[in-house]
Amino acid sequence: VQLQASGGGSVQAGGSLTLSCTVSGVSFDEYAIGWFRRAPGKEREGISCIDNLNRRDGTTHYVDSVKGRFTISRDTAKKTVYLQMHSLKSEDTAVYYCAARSSWWCTDMYNYPVDYWGKGTLVTVSS
Protein backbone atom coordinates (compact mmCIF):
# COMPACT_ATOMS: atom_id res chain seq x y z
CA VAL A 1 0.00 0.00 0.00
CA GLN A 2 1.35 3.40 -0.92
CA LEU A 3 0.10 6.93 -0.47
CA GLN A 4 2.16 9.35 -2.53
CA ALA A 5 1.74 12.98 -1.54
CA SER A 6 3.02 15.77 -3.74
CA GLY A 7 2.48 19.41 -4.58
CA GLY A 8 4.13 21.15 -1.69
CA GLY A 9 6.29 24.19 -2.21
CA SER A 10 6.88 27.79 -1.25
CA VAL A 11 4.30 30.48 -1.82
CA GLN A 12 3.63 33.98 -0.61
CA ALA A 13 0.76 34.72 1.72
CA GLY A 14 -2.49 34.94 -0.18
CA GLY A 15 -1.30 32.46 -2.77
CA SER A 16 -2.54 29.00 -3.66
CA LEU A 17 -1.23 25.46 -3.88
CA THR A 18 -2.81 22.13 -4.68
CA LEU A 19 -1.63 18.98 -2.95
CA SER A 20 -2.20 15.53 -4.42
CA CYS A 21 -2.31 12.15 -2.74
CA THR A 22 -2.24 9.15 -5.06
CA VAL A 23 -3.25 5.85 -3.51
CA SER A 24 -2.20 2.40 -4.66
CA GLY A 25 -2.52 -1.09 -3.27
CA VAL A 26 -6.00 -0.77 -1.77
CA SER A 27 -9.54 -0.42 -3.03
CA PHE A 28 -9.60 3.36 -3.31
CA ASP A 29 -13.36 3.82 -2.95
CA GLU A 30 -13.43 1.81 0.29
CA TYR A 31 -11.20 4.24 2.16
CA ALA A 32 -11.68 7.61 3.71
CA ILE A 33 -8.75 9.89 2.92
CA GLY A 34 -7.57 12.74 5.06
CA TRP A 35 -4.99 15.48 5.17
CA PHE A 36 -2.99 16.24 8.27
CA ARG A 37 -0.29 18.75 8.93
CA ARG A 38 2.46 19.32 11.43
CA ALA A 39 3.53 22.90 11.86
CA PRO A 40 6.93 23.72 13.40
CA GLY A 41 6.82 23.09 17.13
CA LYS A 42 3.24 21.83 17.07
CA GLU A 43 1.42 18.52 17.18
CA ARG A 44 0.15 16.93 14.01
CA GLU A 45 -3.46 17.89 13.35
CA GLY A 46 -6.12 16.64 10.99
CA ILE A 47 -7.41 19.45 8.81
CA SER A 48 -9.63 17.93 6.14
CA CYS A 49 -10.97 14.59 5.07
CA ILE A 50 -13.30 12.99 2.58
CA ASP A 51 -15.45 9.95 3.23
CA ASN A 52 -15.20 6.79 1.20
CA LEU A 53 -17.39 6.78 -1.86
CA ASN A 54 -19.00 3.38 -1.45
CA ARG A 55 -20.67 4.02 1.88
CA ARG A 56 -20.66 7.75 2.46
CA ASP A 57 -20.72 9.32 -1.00
CA GLY A 58 -17.54 11.23 -0.42
CA THR A 59 -18.80 13.66 2.20
CA THR A 60 -16.14 16.23 3.09
CA HIS A 61 -15.02 17.74 6.37
CA TYR A 62 -12.85 20.73 7.28
CA VAL A 63 -11.57 22.11 10.51
CA ASP A 64 -12.45 25.72 11.17
CA SER A 65 -8.96 27.04 10.49
CA VAL A 66 -9.11 25.99 6.83
CA LYS A 67 -12.83 26.07 6.13
CA GLY A 68 -13.65 28.32 3.20
CA ARG A 69 -10.03 28.35 2.01
CA PHE A 70 -9.26 24.68 1.38
CA THR A 71 -11.20 22.22 -0.78
CA ILE A 72 -10.74 18.47 -0.72
CA SER A 73 -11.85 16.27 -3.59
CA ARG A 74 -11.25 12.80 -4.92
CA ASP A 75 -10.85 11.39 -8.42
CA THR A 76 -11.64 7.70 -8.53
CA ALA A 77 -10.22 7.17 -12.00
CA LYS A 78 -6.87 8.56 -10.90
CA LYS A 79 -7.10 7.17 -7.35
CA THR A 80 -6.08 10.57 -6.17
CA VAL A 81 -7.30 12.97 -3.52
CA TYR A 82 -6.60 16.67 -3.94
CA LEU A 83 -6.37 19.47 -1.43
CA GLN A 84 -6.75 22.85 -3.06
CA MET A 85 -5.44 25.53 -0.77
CA HIS A 86 -6.26 29.19 -1.35
CA SER A 87 -5.65 32.40 0.60
CA LEU A 88 -2.70 30.77 2.28
CA LYS A 89 -1.41 32.25 5.50
CA SER A 90 1.93 32.00 7.23
CA GLU A 91 0.30 29.79 9.85
CA ASP A 92 -0.43 27.23 7.13
CA THR A 93 3.31 26.53 6.94
CA ALA A 94 3.71 22.86 7.80
CA VAL A 95 4.53 19.42 6.54
CA TYR A 96 1.34 18.01 5.07
CA TYR A 97 0.52 14.30 5.16
CA CYS A 98 -2.25 12.28 3.60
CA ALA A 99 -3.71 9.26 5.31
CA ALA A 100 -6.22 6.52 4.63
CA ARG A 101 -8.63 4.77 6.95
CA SER A 102 -11.24 2.13 6.28
CA SER A 103 -14.16 3.62 8.20
CA TRP A 104 -17.65 4.96 7.74
CA TRP A 105 -16.82 8.51 8.73
CA CYS A 106 -13.57 10.14 7.70
CA THR A 107 -13.48 12.19 10.88
CA ASP A 108 -12.70 8.94 12.72
CA MET A 109 -9.14 9.35 11.54
CA TYR A 110 -8.78 12.45 13.67
CA ASN A 111 -9.32 10.38 16.81
CA TYR A 112 -8.37 6.81 15.94
CA PRO A 113 -5.35 5.27 14.27
CA VAL A 114 -5.23 5.51 10.52
CA ASP A 115 -4.46 2.49 8.41
CA TYR A 116 -1.89 4.08 6.11
CA TRP A 117 0.19 7.23 5.99
CA GLY A 118 1.88 8.93 3.13
CA LYS A 119 5.18 10.72 3.37
CA GLY A 120 4.91 14.41 4.02
CA THR A 121 5.17 17.30 1.62
CA LEU A 122 6.37 20.67 2.86
CA VAL A 123 4.32 23.81 2.39
CA THR A 124 6.00 27.10 3.23
CA VAL A 125 4.00 30.31 3.21
CA SER A 126 5.97 33.52 3.50
CA SER A 127 4.42 36.77 4.62
For residues 17 and 118, what is the distance between their CA atoms, to the nearest angstrom?
18
What's the confidence (pLDDT) of residue 3?
97
Q: Are 29 and 76 in contact (CB under 8 A)?
A: yes
pLDDT band for position 23 (cuts 50, 70, 90): very high
Distance CA 94, CA 107 (A): 20
pLDDT computed for residue 56 by the predictor: 65
* pLDDT tens column, 75-122: 999 999 999 999 999 999 999 999 999 988 899 999 999 999 999 999
Calculate the average pLDDT of the chain.
Answer: 95
The rounded percent of the chain whose pLDDT value lies above 70 is: 98
CA distances, 60 to each of 83, 93, 105, 125 (Å): 11, 22, 10, 25
Average pLDDT, stretch 47-63? 87
Compute the distance between CA of residue 46 and CA of residue 16 in angstroms, rounded to an integer.
20
Res 73: pLDDT? 95
Q: With bands split at pLDDT 50, 70 and 90, how would you rate the model's confidence at 15?
A: very high
